[in-house]
Amino acid sequence: MIKIYHNPRCRKSREALNHLEEKENALDVILYLQTPLSYEALSDLIQKLNLRPIDLIRKEEALWKTQFKDKNLDDPELIQLMIEEPRLMQRPIVEFQDKAVIARPLDALKDLI
């Protein structure tokens, strides 16, 4: 089953969800802002993305710039930060089997599905 970590207020996330709904029957929509991921789930997702935790951070987000940008956070601290402040996570993220992509642009989905 395909999972999408979705923020309904984000235009790119809505576009990815619409695209998937047109093509896929089995879809698990995870509203990660309402139900943040566990440390283990987020760590697993980061591995599937083949990224470092810092690469999943939305560095243009005001919260990041004002409160965290100048802190020297290690990977476990960054993961914990994204759990506590999930709006800092890049979006949308689409996961299928043992891979995941940040589905921006939508073309990124071609390599996943």
- Which of these is catalytic: 10, 51, 83, 112? 10
Cis omega (within 30 of 0) for bond into 86: no
10 catalytic? Reply is: yes
CA–CA distance, 13 with 106 (Å, rounded to integer): 10
Cβ atoms of 10 and 92 closer than 8 Å: yes
Strand ranges for 13-78 from DSSP E: 27-30
CA–CA distance, 55 with 100 (Å, rounded to integer): 14
Count of Cβ atoms closer than 10 Å to residue 83 Cβ: 17
- Give the catalytic positions in this structure: 10
